[in-house]
């Protein structure tokens, strides 16, 4: 399967630079994957599609201010450091995998300084993903220091760096650890979630910390040759039980975003139940979904793994056709853009 088969032309002005003032005012393209029929609504209209007895699963990860700006010790110039994940959270919480710019000038043995010396990092090694392994040194509380010195790592296609960082969090974000938001969840408000509950839907959460894969384009010619970097995920017992209960009575599972989809399908492949660990599951056409019936998602970049995932659920030609219609009708794309509901007629 060729990566080129997942390409499409997107006018630059269709890339959303700022989020909608009202989360639920985003547009919603509803695609019926079994018939190909489409409807054009707004996200607040999601309640019209709610089915009593179905379950809506959210990702409660929280984006951390993972972008640090500093200098090399000894007058070596400015550096940018992007936190990816702790290398050994239990035994050595100050040991991190990071990306650095300019990478060619940062080598093992170098020392990086942030915030006038409030935070330092010793570069220990290079990593297989092209980053660096560093150990941070500081005094005080790590979370407080990061809030003070770090910035939200907005995607490179967002040029409006003044964007409100609070809008790059979901209203239910709880567990710190992501370097990018699970963007499908940005459209929800507490009021909308309550309306869905009032319609008889049950709501559960998983955690998947969005990592390096979000920033890395596919660089091979064949889809099957690409490998996704592992990301931490957790499915608590109450969510595992909720999914089992809903499926046993014939209800459907709605995944809010590709992160939820990957977490649920990863757990299913391992034998359904509570899970905590790492997943590098790459979903592309030909994949057999075991848990997810319906998917709420944003519009994704050309030739991206996320576009391949939604194509696995709804079909490549059908997805690209829906994207073309969205472009023609003025939908906004990517992280701060509009949303899709991939569903079925029955």
Which numeric CATH code is attached to 3-63+163-343?
3.40.1780.10
- pLDDT number for residue 166: 78
pLDDT top residue among 21 and 246: 246
Task: Please tell me the distance from the alpha carbon of residue 282 to that of residue 284, in angstroms, as a whole number.
Answer: 6
pLDDT top residue among 63 and 164: 63
Determine which helix (DSSP H) or strand (DSSP E) holds 195, and give its type and residue range.
helix 190-198
- pLDDT number for residue 158: 84
Percent of the chain's residues with pLDDT above 90:
83
Judged on CB neighbours under 10 Å (0-12, 13-18, 19+), 6 is: buried
- pLDDT number for residue 34: 95
Question: For the chain, first and last CA: distance in Å?
Answer: 30
Q: In what order do the strands lie in the sheet with 202-208?
A: 38-42, 27-32, 339-343, 294-298, 253-256, 55-59, 202-208, 231-235, 275-279
Q: Is the pTM of this model over 0.95?
A: no
For the chain, give the longest Cα–Cα distance: 65
CATH of 67-149, one of 3.40.50.300, 2.40.10.240, 2.60.40.420, 3.40.50.10360: 2.40.10.240
Interval 110-140: pLDDT, tens: 999 998 889 999 999 999 878 999 999 999 9
The 3-state DSSP composition of the chain as helix, strand, coil percent (nearest 5) reads 30, 30, 40
DSSP state of 4: G
**Residue 162: which pLDDT band, with cuts at 50, 70 and 90?**
low
**Residue 214: which pLDDT band, with cuts at 50, 70 and 90?**
low
CA angle centred on 256, ends 10 and 9, rounded to 5°: 10
- The three-class DSSP label of residue 299 is coil
Is 80 exceeded by the pLDDT of residue 215? no
- pLDDT number for residue 167: 84
Task: Please tell me the distance from the alpha carbon of residue 18 to that of residue 240, in angstroms, as a whole number.
Answer: 35
What are the sequence ranges of the domains in the chain?
3-63+163-343, 67-149
Is 70 exceeded by the pLDDT of residue 161? no
**Residue 36: which pLDDT band, with cuts at 50, 70 and 90?**
very high
CA angle centred on 70, ends 64 and 76, rounded to 5°: 150
Inter-CA distances, 60 with 134, 260, 306, Å:
27, 10, 19
Interval 257-303: pLDDT, tens: 999 999 999 999 999 999 999 999 999 999 999 999 999 999 999 99
- pLDDT number for residue 15: 94
- pLDDT number for residue 165: 65
Determine which helix (DSSP H) or strand (DSSP E) holds 332, and give its type and residue range.
none
List 233's β-bridge partners, or say none.
Answer: 208, 277
* Average pLDDT for 161-173: 79
Closest of 256, 255, 238, 242 to residue 188, by C-alpha: 256
Strand (E) positions, 139-290? 175-178, 202-208, 231-235, 253-256, 275-279
- pLDDT number for residue 157: 84
Task: Please tell me the distance from the alpha carbon of residue 315 to that of residue 334, in angstroms, as a whole number.
Answer: 20
Q: Please determine whether the domains at 3-63+163-343 and 67-149 fall in the same fold group of CATH.
A: no
22 touches 43 (CB < 8 A): no
To the nearest 10 degrees (0 to 180), the angle between helices 258-269 and 305-314 is 70
Q: Across all residues in the chain, what is the average pLDDT? A: 94
- The three-class DSSP label of residue 177 is strand
């Amino acid at each position: 399967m060729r990566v080129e088969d997942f390409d499409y032309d997107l006018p630059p002005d269709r890339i959303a630079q700022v989020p909608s003032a009202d989360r639920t005012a985003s547009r919603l393209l509803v695609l019926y994957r079994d018939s190909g029929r489409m409807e054009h609504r707004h996200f607040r209209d999601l309640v019209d599609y709610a089915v009593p007895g179905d379950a809506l699963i959210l990702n409660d990860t929280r984006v951390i201010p993972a972008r640090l700006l500093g200098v090399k010790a000894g007058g070596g110039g400015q550096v940018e450091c992007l936190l990816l994940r702790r290398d050994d959270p239990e035994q050595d919480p100050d040991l991190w995998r990071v990306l650095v710019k300019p990478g060619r000038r940062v080598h093992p043995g170098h020392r990086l300084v942030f915030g006038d010396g409030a935070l330092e990092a010793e570069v220990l090694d290079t990593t297989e993903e092209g980053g660096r392994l560093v150990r941070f040194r500081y005094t005080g509380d790590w979370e407080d220091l990061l809030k003070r010195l770090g910035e939200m790592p907005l995607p490179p296609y967002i040029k409006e760096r003044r964007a409100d960082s609070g809008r790059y969090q979901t209203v239910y974000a709880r567990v710190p650890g992501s370097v990018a938001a699970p963007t499908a969840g940005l459209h929800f408000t507490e009021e909308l979630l309550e309306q869905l509950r009032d319609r008889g839907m049950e709501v559960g959460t998983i955690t998947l910390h969005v990592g390096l894969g979000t920033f890395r384009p596919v660089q091979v010619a064949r889809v099957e040759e690409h490998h996704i970097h592992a990301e931490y995920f957790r499915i608590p017992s109450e969510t595992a039980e909720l999914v089992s209960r809903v499926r046993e009575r014939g209800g459907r599972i709605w995944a809010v975003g590709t992160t939820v989809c990957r977490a649920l399908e990863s757990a299913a492949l391992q034998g359904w139940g509570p899970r905590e660990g790492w997943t590098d599951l790459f979903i592309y056409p030909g994949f057999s979904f075991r848990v997810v019936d319906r998917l709420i998602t944003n519009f994704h970049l050309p030739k991206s793994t996320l576009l391949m995932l939604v194509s696995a659920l709804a079909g490549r030609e059908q997805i690209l056709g829906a994207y073309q219609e969205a472009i023609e009708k003025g939908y906004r794309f990517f992280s701060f853009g509009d949303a899709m509901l991939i569903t079925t007629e029955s």
